[in-house]
Amino acid sequence: MAKTVTITAHDGGSFSAYVAGDQNIGKGGPGILVIQEIFGVNQVMREICDDLAKQGYVALCPDLFWRQEPGVDITDKSKAEWDKAFALFGGFDVDKGVEDLKSALASLRKLTGGKVGTVGYCLGGKLAFLMAARSDVDAAVAFYGVGLADLTDEVKTIKKPLLMHCATEDKFVPKEAQAKVKAAVAGHPHVTLHEYQGNDHAFARVGGEHYDKAAADLANGRTATFFKTHLS
């Protein structure tokens, strides 16, 4: 079963989060914090949580746009929705977003009693990278994170396992930026970066314009193995 919970922010106020895996709550098992794309906590994110719940996790996806507009739930199917998504992305405070994720992570730990990982996509991939650098998360996975070339100074503070999935033809991450990120994490004992040759941004978004089942299956399989290894 799935439900919505309310999380108290570190600086006051509160925001909602979708939770899947009621059957796994309170059993001392692992949890996964799912970090949204720029489309809010939509059907794609909820289905990711539901799938993780079937794998034995408690999965929680917080509403990170609540400071601008609570309850954003849009798709990638129309220009109007893309325009809204980019407007929300442009107005998003990354540092406050990380703090909100830390609050969500603490709430998830209380629900599980076990280790907790995080997985994020697009904007969420950027935030998963930052959670690996700034929080006590036990393991993090970043799918095609954006804006990471401006955050390479954060690499030195990563002390927990981080798995990165990067598309070589990502229209939102120029080749120069890809190279900078790749060089920044090269040889890092806690970071593993996989490149998906010929794939564009959001290759793992089911139903998306650039969805590639083979690449998505490979990335999702690597993610499942990674979490099983580090959250057990």
How many Cβ atoms are within 10 Å of 90's Cβ, its own excluded?
Answer: 9
Low-confidence ranges of the chain (pLDDT < 70): 1-2
Location of structure tokens 């609540």? 66
**Would you say 79 and 37 are in contact if contact means Cβ atoms under 8 Å apart?**
no
Active site residues: 170, 201
What CATH number has the domain bearing residue 94?
A: 3.40.50.1820
Longest dimension (CA), the chain: 45
Within 8 A by CB and 6+ apart from 156, the residues are none
pLDDT at 157 (0 to 100): 97
User: Across the strands, what pairs with 116?
Assistant: 31
For the stretch 26-77, pLDDT in tens is 788 899 999 999 999 999 999 999 999 999 999 999 999 999 999 999 999 9
Q: How far is CA 224 from CA 37, 79, 219, in A?
A: 20, 33, 9
Task: Encode burial over 115-138: b for 16+ CB neighbours within 10 A, e otherwise.
Answer: bbbbbbbbbbbbbbbbbbbbbebb
Question: What is the number of structural domains in the chain?
Answer: 1
What is residue 173's predicted lDDT score, i.e. its pLDDT?
97
Strand ranges in the chain using DSSP code E only, listed in sequence order:
2-8, 14-20, 31-35, 58-62, 116-121, 139-143, 162-167, 191-196
Domain coverage including residue 137: 2-231
